[in-house]
Amino acid sequence: MIFSELESGTSREGHKIPAFKTDIKESKYLYIIGGVHGDEVEGVYVLKELFQWLSHEHTLKDLPMIVIPILNVDGYRAQTRVNAYSVDLNRNLPTQDWSPNFTQPKYNPGTKPLSEPENQYLVKLFDKYKPGFIMSFHTWKPILNHNGDCRDVAEFLNKFNGYEMAGDIGYPTPGSLGTFAVEKYNSPVLTFECPELRTHKESLKDIWNENEEGLKSFFQTDLVWKKLK
């Protein structure tokens, strides 16, 4: 597939947030997003390897797709979960359950919903190129967290990597992408949680290797197109 770079966003510290789009025009788009939390390098690495393959595998049928390799570019540079204003971007989106309250600094939702330029840029893209399905790559424990109508995708990937599947991760996530995209755009979100290096004692390459076959297979099935109808 051939990707072109879109007009980039700008982070709190003024750094560029790159995004890429295929030349296909459709009413709905597949998004793959990484680096919402800047210290989750495992998820960023898996997305990077996937994007490289998508960009060089020209036998694939072109998909209407947008790729944001690292949303929280300031946090990634600093290796922090939060952005440069100490806000958790995955608690800052304007969901019905958004709250200014938080129990730990790492969950700081910001002063108001959508206060952060990184999320403002993300929503600007969503409004221009409507999401039909979103895959957001994170790091925590190996789990496929499905919000909205995408349990079938989780089941497909589970056959390859054996990751736990869950529609609920066991605690509230107000202001999260998984809630916001379903509420506003009726777009399912698969939060693809990669294992942490420090607990699983694997290399980044090992984490990609255990997911490579499943992710590549997914992009070669009709299941991906089903999500964009």
Residues 191-213: tens digit of each pLDDT: 999 999 877 667 999 999 999 99
Domain that holds residue 110: 3-226
Average pLDDT, integer, range 3-20: 98
Each residue of 162-190: pLDDT tens digit?
Answer: 999 999 888 889 999 999 999 999 999 99
Predicted confidence at residue 199, as pLDDT, reads 75
Q: What is the CATH number of the domain that holds 17?
A: 3.40.630.10
Phi, psi for residue 9 in degrees, rounded to 5: -90, 180
β-strands 65-68, 29-34 pairing: parallel
**Count of domains for the chain:** 1
| 125 φ/ψ sector (left φ>0, alpha ψ -120 to 50, else beta) | alpha
Mean pLDDT for all residues in the chain: 96
The pLDDT tens digits of the residues spanning 97-150 come to 999 999 999 999 999 999 999 999 999 999 999 999 999 999 999 999 999 999
Whole-number pLDDT of residue 146: 98
